Structure 1
Amino acid sequence: MSAAELRTAGLSEYDILRAEKCCLRRVRRGIYVVTKSCAVDAHRFVSNVAADDATDLPRETEGQLKRNEDLRILVRSYVGKILPHAVFSHRSALIIHGLAVPYIEHERDVFAESVHQRCGLRRPSMQVRRRSLDERDIVRVDGIPVTSVLRTLFDLARDYPLALAVAAIDDALHRSVITEAQLQTYVADHPVRTRQRRIDTVMENVDGRRESVGESITAVRFVEFSVPGVEPQVVIVDENGRFVARTDFANRQAKVVAEFDGAGKYHLKGVDPKKAFEQERRREYALRNLGYEVFRLTWQDLFAATQFLRIKAAIERRTPPRPVRSTAG
């Protein structure tokens, strides 16, 4: 809600300042989000809003989940408030289309984004990029002007790091929102003078078989750290051909497996966490009994070098040497 709405409801500037320490949070200049109900009499209007069944209060308190929630709140605050003839784009467009924002690494990265054909500007809470748009690049979702899914993914490939762009595209492919052929055609039809190589690199690394953002980022890190021979979704069988496991990633020749342990892996709906953990432990023992070395990657590992360098070293150590060709005769 806006400061003007709060003043109309009877809150003074002093009340609003006090509420910021209690039941309101400033989203951007003049815009606030209700965080909770409180007992302060002067904040009764805010408390009534908080208690309403239609109010969706912020839930996250820290880290990646909070930054993602903060971005969603910020984008919502700009609906109907962006520049005339501008359209939401990039990560803001992902949110509006209901697609995953793969990650937001720092607090400073929480800002809304839009595209305008005649002007560009950068504010703490909004970046407007000056870009030309085809008529087909602009769609409306629930009345909100936004770049099309294809244009959104194209822009991410052009402007964002490899891991984020690949993860966003993989998510759209895996959910059958688009096809790889459609995106390839769009890229071919829209060559750019700057960052074309970056877009091409993204396209070389997308794979709709990946089942989570974490897996997509992991795959990109394997490329960035030059980890050889890693395949996704590898089925492992025993010496009798019986199924043992389907792994997130594996190098068959070196017998090295890498698994991404995403948040909630042992807390899936309808699954007992203890049983899930025990099943995972037995699965890992079975892989080790077949001679596989198993590495587990957490979300934090995806943004550091240590585990990837260990996996690379294990593959190099365990890969059988190539036979030397005889030069005699």
Structure 2
Amino acid sequence: MTTAEMRTAGLSRDVVARHREAGTLVRQFRGVYLVGRATPTRDELERAAVKACGEGAVLSHRSAAARWKILRHHRGPVEVTARTQRRRQQGLRPYRANLAPADVTMKDGVPITTVARTLVDLAMLVDEAVLDTAVHEADNLKRLYLRKVDEAIARAGATRQGVPALRRRLRRYRPANGRLDTDMEKLFVQFLRKYGFPPTEHGVTFELEGGERTTVDVLFRDAWVAVELDGGVHESRRHFQTDRRKSRRLEALHGLVVFRVTEEDLAERADELAQDLHATIARRAAAV
């Protein structure tokens, strides 16, 4: 409880002082006390820290990441974002920011930055390996909404420290251009994430001779390897012939290696497919 809450409840300063002397009120932060016990849980400590930073304060940065479970642990000072400048206290690290309503939510009854804003804040504090883990965990927990992260970045400022690193981490989770138009393409993106492939571009257009244009489903640009997904309309004989011609022309005119993937490959031979595609990319990357 805060001292203001105790006064609202009818406790005088003398009564509060007696409870402090008796050990039934234990100071956690300036103006905030734990009732009835000497040692708070981590949850109680975080709630106390938010209260200590005043109206509108929210759990943020590494503390928010740990509560969202996109980081496993945070045992350092509780990190809180407040509307006004707050002094740093033992066990409490305050930040000052006027957060937009879209960057704030509630979790377990605690005001907290959204996962999207938490990733933006986290990016300025941790190295890229830790940030990569946080993004990966957010995706595993189905809390990674790229549009919301982009919007949070825009509100925080594109030049903010850590934003370039966060954008690099996010590249793996979305196509660099084009759209995912089929269920098979979406399954293939999940496959790429699961097996740790480098960033890709989707729906990339190439010029052929005579003004003809063609599009590849997936491109690993650094290795100069394209992946064509054979499913749905690809099963007809006409498309079979057209796709083989397309692959041949891309290899002849652009030096592009075309790697074909079927629905059966994804469903029944995913481990083997991942091994072969990784080997192809590694071999080509070494040659480029």
User: How does the TM-score come out when normalised to structure 1?
Assistant: 0.41
When the two structures are superposed, what TM-score results if normalisation uses the length of structure 2?
0.46
Bigger helix share: 2
